Structure 1
Amino acid sequence: MKSLKNCPAPAKLNLFLHVTGRRADGYHLLQTVFQMIDRCDSLDFELRDDHEIRRVNDVPGVPEDSDLVIRAARMLAAAVQQRTGVQPPGADITLHKVLPMGGGVGGGSSDAATTFMALNKLWAAGLSKQELMDLALPLGADVPFFIFGETAFAEGVGEALRAVDAPDWWYVVIEPGVHVPTPQIFTSGHLTRNTQPVNMSDFSSYHANRNDLRQFGKNDLQQVATRLFPQVAEAVEWLDAYGDARMTGSGACVFCAVRSEEQADAVLARVPAAWTGWKAKALKRHPIIEKL
C-alpha cells in the first residue's frame, strides 16, 4: 500500500460540557458527551522514501510546522522508530479543510486523529488503539476521543472515555463568523468551575426515557463566550427558537438537535445571510474504521 486517499476527519459536538473543578496544575476537570457528526475534513496520505513528513498544500492561517497533522505524524514516526529501531518511510499529506477553525467542532484534533490512524496503517506500525490514544493525548484531550471512535462520555481533562448511546439526531449548526480562542475562555474569571458532577447513567437514562437530549445539562463555557463575543450570543438566541440551542466546545459554533433532515432543511432556509449554517447527522462510529 502506497497511499490512502479521502480519509475522513469528522467534526464533533459536545452535547453538554460541565466544568467540575480544577487541578493543581491548572488543567480543568470536565464532564462531557462527545458526539461525532458526518461533516468532515479529509486527508490524503502518500508514502515517501526519504523519511520526510510534509504537508503538500497550503492551509491559510496554519503554518506547516504548527499544524496538528504534522505534529501527529512526527510523534507517530518517533514512536515507531523507538519501538522498532527503524525510521518509517515518511509521508506527503494533503489536508482538505471543511470544518471551521476556532469553532469548537474539533477540526484540528480530528485531523490529527485521522493522521495517527491512517499512518499507523500505511506504515504498518501496528500500534493498538489504546497506544495511539495515549500517544495523542499531549496534542489535546479531543484527539484521543476521535481515535476512540464512538460516542463517548468523557471525564478528567477529557481523556477518560466510556462508550455511551445517544439519540440518532440530525443537527443544525451555525458558524457565527468569529474565532473564539480557547485559552481566553478557560482563563476567564467568569467561568463556572464547580458544576455538580453527573453520572453516565444519568445521561443514558435521560435520553432512553425521552429519546431527547434537550434540557440535559449545559455548556459551562457558553456564558463566558457569549459575554465576550456577542455574535455567539446572537446565534444562540436565534437558533433557540427551533430547539435547545447551545454552543459546542469553547465555541464559536452553536447547534441544536432536530428529529429529521427535513426539519434541519427548514431551519437552514431561515438562517440569516451573515452566518454560515449547515446540517449534519450523528455518527455512531468513526467513518475511517471501514476504510482501514
Structure 2
Amino acid sequence: MVENSTQHRVLIADDEAPARRELKRLLCADPSLLVIGEAENGLDAFTQTMVLRPDIVFLDIQMPAMSGIETVEKLLANHNHPLIVFVTAYDAYAVKAFELHAIDYILKPVRKERLDMVLKRIHMQLEATHPQQGQECLLRLISSLQEGGQPNPACRIALYQGDKIIPIRIDEIIYAESCGRCCKVMTKAGYFPTAYSMHELQEILPSSRFFLCHRSYLVNLDCIESVELWVNSTYRLKMTNCDTLVPVSRNSTAALKQFLHLA
C-alpha cells in the first residue's frame, strides 16, 4: 500500500465483510482517498483509530464488542477527532449522530450518488472551506425521517446565525439567492447564510412550492406578492416581507405562467 501525502486516510468499520468490501470499492474509486484499515467491531475500530490516526472513519452503528456510537464517544473522550460518517441500516440514531458532530449519516444500502455527496462535503471540511455543511446535511436528514425510516419532504432546514443552528420551517422561506457556490436564504426573519448550493436546495425544498425562476433565484410560490412585466416579455417578482424584485429568466417565463395560471 503506497501512501500519497495528498490523500486522506480512511478507516472502515463494519461487522459484515461484504459491506466493508463494497464500501471500500466505492471509496477506492476516489484517488484522493486511501483506505488504511478495516475493523469488524467497535473495539477494533477504536484501537485502529488511535494507532493509525485516520482522517475519516466510516463506521456501522450496530457492531459487537462496542457500538459505533460508543466507539465515537470513546474517541472523543480521548481527544481523537477524525471525521465520522455513520453507515447503517437504522435511522433511529440520526439525532445522536448529530450530537456527536458526525459529518454525515448514510443509510444502507449505500448508493454511489449519496456517497459522492458525502465525499464532496468531506473534502470541503478537510479543506476548511465549509465547516458547517456536514451538520446541515444531518439536520436535513433528521427533519426528513418519518417513523418508517423513509425520507419525507423536509419541513425544516438548518440555517446558521453566528454559531447557532436555527431550524427554519420551509414555509418561512421567501426565496433563496445564489452567492457563488453557496446560497443565502431570505426568510420572514431576515437573511441567513448557508453552505447549500442551489442544486442542493432544489433537492431539499418541495418542487410543488419552490420554483427556480432564474439560475440565481429559487422562490416560494406562496410568497409572490405581485408579478411585474419587465424587459423582453419577462417578469420580475415582488416577494412578501421584502423589497427585492426577483428576476424571471426568459427560459423560466413559460413555466411561471403555467404555475400561476397567467394568460
Q: TM-score, normalised by structure 1?
A: 0.27
Structure with larger Rg? 2
More strand, by proportion: 2
Larger RCO of the pair (alpha carbons < 8 Å, separation 6+): 1
- Taking structure 2 as the reference length, the TM-score comes to 0.30
